Amino acid sequence: MKGIKREIWILGLVSMFNDIAAHMVFPLLPLFLTSTLGAGAAALGFVEGFAKVVSKVLKTFSGHLSDRTGKRRLYLFSGYLLSAFSRPFYALAGNWVHVLAVRSLDRVGKGIRDPPRDALISHYTHKRYRGRAFGLHRALDTAGAVIGPLLAFAVLSAGFSYRQIFLMSLVPGAAAVSLLLLVREKKFKRERKGLASALSGLSPGMKWFLAASAVFGAGYASVAFLVLFVSMSVSVQDTLLLYLVLNAVYSMSSLPVGVLADRFGLKETLVTGFLFYSAVMIGFAVSPALAPVLFVVFGIFRALYDGVSRAYASVLSSSSERGLALGAYETVVGVSGMAASIIFGVLWQAFAPSAAFTFSAILSVTAAFLLAVRKL
């Protein structure tokens, strides 16, 4: 594929195997928390929000350190290793606090690895092809999010328990770590500034993008809540199948969306994604009967947002500060996302799910406006 080097494929396969492991576990966690451990929606919101912010805050530091040391591969290996070997410990959880601890360790691994990985993707790709490079990576990554739930569905249907499935996740996680041995380091001009100075030196366009992303993140509904909402009307097995289809839609859409984003503009694609997300949230709020369909359609939004936002952040930053810029973006989304998860859970429990979905839709439209009005 034009503009796509060998390393992009390898990093995509690493993410695919990691996501097989992660998504054997993730779609079952909301059900494990609520049905097995007896936790409520507020506890689910806190687990997801806290774990997310732990991961996201770390990304600024890991991105900056990888800029300064030039050793992005070391951070990748450490992060994937921690995630792979923490997930099986869900099998020992006796209450939601135990789940919180393991989920946080898993997310620490993600916080360590993601900005250096995304910086490597951008280093190996000319800016003309960033959309398709990140799109290909997200497509392979999300292929794992299709295979993982499919495996979980198969073994659950065969009579295995949630806890046994959590233990099985170790195998694909170890495969992901092993593949990293094939990734070469990429030399670049290293950043010499301290963290505070480097942050203040980010471009005005990057800073505005961070502000718009914070607004969107403050209203972003964790997929865990969507899983819980759908599971209220269908069986556990059907919820897993819908989750599989959602990720299949996401995976198949990511590369075409990336190619289109390169052609029509990364910012324009993101604005479209924010408005699309708002429409889906309104759909959840006013038509609960359509929840299974909307859940699947949510995969299109993921393709419009996840890879494109990273590609856009990489274009708004120089090579020496790219790890920091990508990490700062993830941190902003994570911190605002923790608030979103807590608010979403409280609105859900105190009023109704429709109130939480409406809140998300309003902030998404606001973020789209902020991004659209400024030329970046």
Assess contact for 63 and 326: CB atoms under 8 A.
yes
Q: Tell me which residue of 227, 77, 33, 38 sits closest to 145, measured CA to CA.
A: 227
Q: Is 82 exposed, middle or buried (0-12, 13-18, 19+ CB in 10 A)?
A: buried
CA angle, 118 as apex, 114 and 120 as ends, to 5°? Answer: 120
The pLDDT score that the predictor gives to residue 20 is 93
Determine the Cα–Cα distance for residues 79 and 325; give it in Å rounded to an integer: 19
Binned average pLDDT, 10 residues per bin, the chain of 376 residues: 77 91 84 77 74 77 78 86 91 84 88 85 76 80 83 84 89 91 71 65 81 87 77 74 79 81 83 89 82 80 82 75 77 80 80 85 91 77
State in words which class domain 6-181+202-373 has.
mainly alpha
Q: Report CA-CA distances (Å) from 136 to 140, 266, 372.
A: 6, 15, 26
Assess contact for 51 and 107: CB atoms under 8 A.
yes
The pLDDT score that the predictor gives to residue 336 is 84
Determine the Cα–Cα distance for residues 232 and 108; give it in Å rounded to an integer: 31
Per the confidence metrics, is the pTM higher than 0.85? no
Assess contact for 214 and 336: CB atoms under 8 A.
yes
Assess contact for 182 and 269: CB atoms under 8 A.
no
Domain ranges of the chain: 6-181+202-373
Assess contact for 119 and 65: CB atoms under 8 A.
no
The pLDDT score that the predictor gives to residue 82 is 92
How many residues can be counted in the chain? 376
